[in-house]
Every structure is written in C-alpha cells, then in structure tokens.
Structure 1
Amino acid sequence: MPANSHRMTDALPDPAPVRELALTRAGDLPEAVMESPEPVILRGWVSDWPVVKAARANDKALHDYLSRFDRGAVVPVSVGPPALQGRVFYTDDFSSSNADRGTAAIGEVLRRIADTGTQDAPPLIYLASATIDDCLPGFREENDVGFGAHDPLASIWIGTRTRIAAHNDLPRNLACVAAGRRRFTLFPPDQLPNLYIGPIENTPASRPISLVDFADPDLDRFPRFAEAMQHAQVAEMEAGDALFIPSMWWHHVEALEAFNVLVNYWWRTVPDYLGTPQDVLNHAMLTIRDMPPEEKRIWKQYFDHYVFENDETTAAHIPAHARGMLDPITDQSARRLRALLLNRLNR
C-alpha cells in the first residue's frame, strides 16, 4: 500500500477527525489552545509565513527561500533506498535504524531533496528535528509564532515522503506545516498497551515507537491495534496549517509530498529543574519492576501516596522546616535532590 494511502485496512475503523479551529493569527498562540487536553488543528494559522508562500509557488522557490538562510551548518540526516517507501524504522534484527544516519551540510541536504522531485522512485532523505536558530539562522525572524510567557524550543524537519512510526513526546507541541502535506494519526496516552511499543533504550530516533506498520497493519501479530484505532484521531494538513499536540499523545506522521517542511515548537509548563519522567521510569525498571509482586504492590502504594495522589495533607503532620523533599520542589531543593541521587547511583 502506498505511503499516501489513507485507508489502512477494511478491518479497521476510520479515525475521527481532529477538532478544528479557524482563527486569525493576531498575537500569541491562544492559551485555550495551549491548555487543550486533546489535539487541535488551526487551519491557516501560519499561512502568512514567507516560507509557506514559497512552498505554494513550487519546489524551486521553496529551495531558494530556505537557501537564503544557509550559513553552512552541519545537520543530522537519514538516508535510505526507495525500497523503504519512506518508512523510518528498525532493521530486521532491531540492531539499528533501517536508514543510514549521518551528517551533511544543510545546503547539500536541501539540494538532494529538491533533486528527488523528478525521480520516479526517490530515496528517503530526512533531516529530523534540527534547532532552527542553529541550522537556518534568521529564518524565525520571518517565520515564527508567539507563545506569550513560554519560550519554546523551535526545530525544523525537512524531507522527502516519509512515514514516522507512532511515538510520543513529553513537551507540548505545536506542529506547523511550512511546505507539503502532512497526515498525523493521533492516539490518547492510555493507548500505550494497544500500540505495541518497541524497545525503550534502542530506538530509531530518541523516543520508543510503535512496531505496527500503519500502511499495512498485521492484526494477527498486533490484534489490540484494532482497539487503538477505535480511539484514533486524524489531522489532514496542508502548508499553512498548525496542529497542537498535548503532552504524551501518540502520533504517527506521514509527509505526503516530494519536498516537505515542518516547524515544531516544544514547551513544558513546569520548570526545567524538575527533570524528565522517563528517567524515573528507567530507574523504576532497574529497582522495582523485578521485585516480588507483594513488594511491588507496597511500592505502588508509596508512589501513589507521595507522587500521584499527594496533596496538602501528605506532609501536614511534619513541621514546615523539616519537610525536605516533601515540600514543593524548588530550584535549590532540586539541586540537593539531584546530588543525592547521583551519589546513590554512583555507589
């Protein structure tokens, strides 16, 4: 089945469309969007960007526009043969990515992508998540979104037709289609068991991915994927559209044209010093997962009490000056706690 085919299989339901808002961009991204518990499409939100206008003209105009900001930066790039049909995944033995990963000058990457437009069977060429200010300095002076008090990380994805396996990200995400077309298939975080997620530490990129091939799902091997599709939402997007993705929502991403550009903004609503929950999960696998069941149940109660169900009563019986890490974490207490953890881990 070709990468741009919408229907997965007759055995699966069509996903529901993502909720859309038609807003005129006059200032920062609305708080109501940034706080949405579900994905939201903003049709035409960045349609006034010069890069979008260049993309709508033709691929040469897009290439020439992006090249204006080329200062010789070296960027990460993945390259694969036409046989991959754009799917970024594992090798058969799961030892590495199925695409060759390396680095190249961004000007060379842009030229190679532009050259594939006339090829009947183009290769996969994919620049993934490069920081815009590093690789295309000046681009954001002409193409940007305001986020009020938030200071997001802005990154860019440039490539040929690609299929990126379903994964999720901790930060909230605004994905802006600057060129080409994109299809996002999204799932709530609780669909984790039904998406058949692969290895945690060995991934084709930086996040664990679904092992299901969305273009040809094997329901004998992955039967619960049918249940996941009952909860799926789809966003069909063109240049100028933006999509808000809440924290930890799963998303499978297809780039559908010969030359595609996506601009992402990532931000969290908590201070950076609070750390990353993935590190907690990794350490829990080291220390708790393989305990006897009765001991694991005890530690589940501890996590519920101190982490997931904590409130003002959790430490109310302790004098305020003696609560330590039971008080809300500050930058200073985070430093102390991090030092304690490092000392323990290094023993």
Structure 2
Amino acid sequence: MAEADASIFAAIPAVEEREAADAAALDALLLGARAPFVIRGLVKDWPLVQAGLTSSRAARDYLLARARPVPFSVSLGQPGKDGRLFYDAAMEMNFREARGKLADIFGGMDANEGRTDAPAIYLGSISVPAHFTTVGAENTIDLGTREPIISLWIGTPTRIAAHNDFPDNLACCAAGRRRFTLFPPEQFANLYLGPIDNTPAGRAVSMVDFHAPDFAAHPRFTDALAAAQVAELEPGDALFIPSMWWHHVEGLAPFNILMNYWWRDTPRWLGQPQDALNHAILSIRDLPAEDKAIWRALFDHYVFDSSTAVTAHIPEGGRGILDPLDPAAAGRLRSFLLRTLSK
C-alpha cells in the first residue's frame, strides 16, 4: 500500500495516551469523555491478540474455529491498487461486494499474501455475536452498564476514508497495525464531504485523498490538518473515538484485525439524528429563504434552544411530545412519523 507524504502528516500531534488499571478506571476515563485517547496494551491478553502475534494464519485459524455457518460479507478492491476503498471516476464504488464462507474468504487472503498485485480484501462491521460462537466471550472488555454493539473489521492493507459515527467507539487492535487520523466534529466543512446517500459504508466520507491531498481542490484541508490528531495502534492497543469525531483508518500490516465496541450514552429508543437530517433535506432545504428562516427559528425554539419556557404555558398532562420523552412516548412518535412518511 502506498505510503502517505510524510511531510504532510509529520506535524500532526499524537492522540493523548491514558492508563486504565481496571474496569473502574476505564469507566472513569470513558464517562463523559469528549476527546480521543489511547490505552496501550489494554487488550494485550486477549487470545485473539496472542494468536495474531504468533502469525496471521494463527489469527485466521482462531476465528475460523469459532465461525458460525453463516455467510460473511466482504469488500473486494481492484487488483494492484493501494487498498483505498472509495469512489471511482463515475462516483460508483471502486470495489465490489460479495458474500461467502469465511474459510473461502480467508483462503483468498492466503493465496494473495505477499503479491504486489493483490486486491484489497476487507470484512467490515462483522457482528461478533451473529458470526462467531465464543469470540466475544473469550476477548472481552468490562464496560460496566454500557450495552455495546461488538464488531470485527478484518482485512489486508486498506484505507478507509475519513467518516464519523454517532455512537462512542472503543477500537481495539487485535492483529496487525492500524493508523487513525482523527478530527474534531466541527471540522466537517474542511474535510470536503461526499454524498450523504451514496456512500461506501453508510456514512458520508471525506473526498480528500490523505495520501495525496490536492490542496488546490481542497484548500481548507490545511485547516483540518491543523486540528488533527493521529494514533498508531499495535496489537493489544485501544483507541477511544468520541461520538461524531471524524476518523480516517488505515490497515498497515499485511493482515489486520480490529474489534470495536459502539455504544450510546442516550437511550436506544431515541431516534437517529441522521434520519432527521435526511428528512430536513427532503422537506426544508429547498424551500424559499424566507420559509427556511422561519423553520430555522422553530428548530431553535423546539430542539436546539429548548427550555421550560417552551412549555410553561401549556397545562401539565397536555404537552405531548414537548414533555421529556420516555420509551412509550418515543414509540408513539415513531409510529406517527412512519404513518406520515408513508403517505
């Protein structure tokens, strides 16, 4: 995989490193955290990490022995490219999706290992409980009362464009090496985001090639770099990525495994903000400017600047969804939205 221009990234500061001697210390670090941090060796004792330190084949054998008999989704890049899973010139994906047995997919990795013209092979966001028997139980982190989604990311050398996620994320390097380049949430305009609906993996991504930035086409990317942080993970290291932080991810070794934990501090019965953004594009963005100004003020009133003054004049018991939401009220609102959107 082609290396980035070192002169561009040499000045990027490293993500802060922290320590967590036990579950209580980790919980204290995560509680309310709004900036990324690295914990070296957090999962160094995982059996999967130990297998990967033995060899790539040992790590693959470990997973194969615990794989469920279900299809696995895999992304296949173009042979001889640099592992960047992105768009082509026509804004179609430059990789294809396939499904198959994990043994066959790993067989393809075995057959291509060491070849300079090998295609990128990447299994992204593989649900650990749905695809493996004991992997989650044997390689675990005590996250207290959090109820995370646990996923595996497995692949040859790859580059995943900068994107963000709504949940908090604890990303653990189980095999190989990973480089994360991170940016605060407010840097979105300086990352030159692509389409919202046509994306490589469900989230809008930066259109900047981090290995060869075109500063003429993307001049504000220099401002993004000024706010960037970088983390390089070895097997056993973990990186906390707060909600909405942008991250560009590179698998640097011939074979790489990452296990990550996603969770929300807000209840799961609340809606997805991305859905609200999509609906606002559908219903508000193309209105006349005068109408958009009215709706902006209404959103500020009811959503962004909401306070007790919004409902003080309404009798208690009659405020509907203007009261704080609970699971029942959220369910009624979701049902109402589904009915209205289906008309």
- Tell me whether the two structures share a fold, i.e. TM-score over 0.5: yes
The correspondence of residues 101-112 of structure 1 with structure 2, limited to 5 A, is: 101-112=97-108
**Residue of structure 1 aligned with 2:290, choices 294, 306, 310:** 294
Contact 2:37 2:241 in 1 (8 A): yes
Name the CA shift for 1:208/1:303 in 2 (closer, same or farther; >3 Å): same
The residue number in structure 2 matching 1:154 is 150
The residue number in structure 2 matching 1:227 is 223
- The question of 1:44 aligning with 2:41 is answered yes
* Cα deviation digits, residues 310-330 of structure 1 (max 9, x gap): 123321221111111110111
Q: CA deviation at 1:171?
A: 0.7
The residue number in structure 1 matching 2:55 is 58
The residue number in structure 2 matching 1:176 is 172
Identity %: 47
- Structure 1: which 5+ residue stretches go unaligned? none
Q: CA deviation at 1:82?
A: 3.1
Q: CA deviation at 1:205?
A: 1.2
**Residue of structure 1 aligned with 2:79, choices 73, 77, 82:** 82
Q: CA deviation at 1:27?
A: 6.0
SS at match of 1:16: coil
SS at match of 1:178: strand
The residue number in structure 2 matching 1:236 is 232
CA distance in 2, matches of 1:318, 1:336: 20
Contact 2:164 2:246 in 1 (8 A): yes
SS at match of 1:118: coil
Counterpart AA for 2:176:
G
Q: CA deviation at 1:84?
A: 2.5
Contact 1:72 1:107 in 2 (8 A): no
SS at match of 1:243: strand
SS at match of 2:308: coil
- Structure 2: which 5+ residue stretches go unaligned? none
The residue number in structure 1 matching 2:2 is 3
Q: CA deviation at 1:305?
A: 1.2
The residue number in structure 2 matching 1:137 is 133
Counterpart AA for 1:75:
F
TM-score w.r.t. structure 2 length? 0.95
TM-score w.r.t. structure 1 length? 0.94
Name the CA shift for 1:25/1:260 in 2 (closer, same or farther; >3 Å): farther
* Cα deviation digits, residues 25-44 of structure 1 (max 9, x gap): 45684232242111111111
CA distance in 2, matches of 1:159, 1:13: 26
CA distance in 1, matches of 2:110, 2:313: 66
CA distance in 2, matches of 1:260, 1:127: 10
The residue number in structure 2 matching 1:24 is 21
Q: Which moved more, 1:334-343 or 1:194-203?
A: 334-343
The residue number in structure 1 matching 2:68 is 71
CA distance in 2, matches of 1:122, 1:48: 32
SS at match of 1:341: helix
Q: Which moved more, 1:336-345 or 1:323-332?
A: 336-345
Q: CA deviation at 1:270?
A: 1.3
The residue number in structure 1 matching 2:252 is 256
Counterpart AA for 2:143:
F
* Cα deviation digits, residues 57-77 of structure 1 (max 9, x gap): 112222222222123321110
User: Superposition RMSD on alpha carbons, in Å?
Assistant: 1.6
CA distance in 2, matches of 1:247, 1:38: 9
Contact 1:29 1:145 in 2 (8 A): no
- The question of 1:201 aligning with 2:200 is answered no
- The question of 1:213 aligning with 2:209 is answered yes
**Residue of structure 1 aligned with 2:309, choices 300, 306, 313:** 313
The correspondence of residues 248-287 of structure 1 with structure 2, limited to 5 A, is: 248-287=244-283
Counterpart AA for 1:45:
L
Name the CA shift for 1:17/1:118 in 2 (closer, same or farther; >3 Å): same
**Residue of structure 1 aligned with 2:185, choices 172, 182, 189:** 189
CA distance in 1, matches of 2:61, 2:252: 21
- The question of 1:246 aligning with 2:242 is answered yes
Q: How many residues align?
A: 343
CA distance in 2, matches of 1:339, 1:63: 44
Q: CA deviation at 1:113?
A: 2.0
Counterpart AA for 1:90:
Y
CA distance in 2, matches of 1:269, 1:23: 20
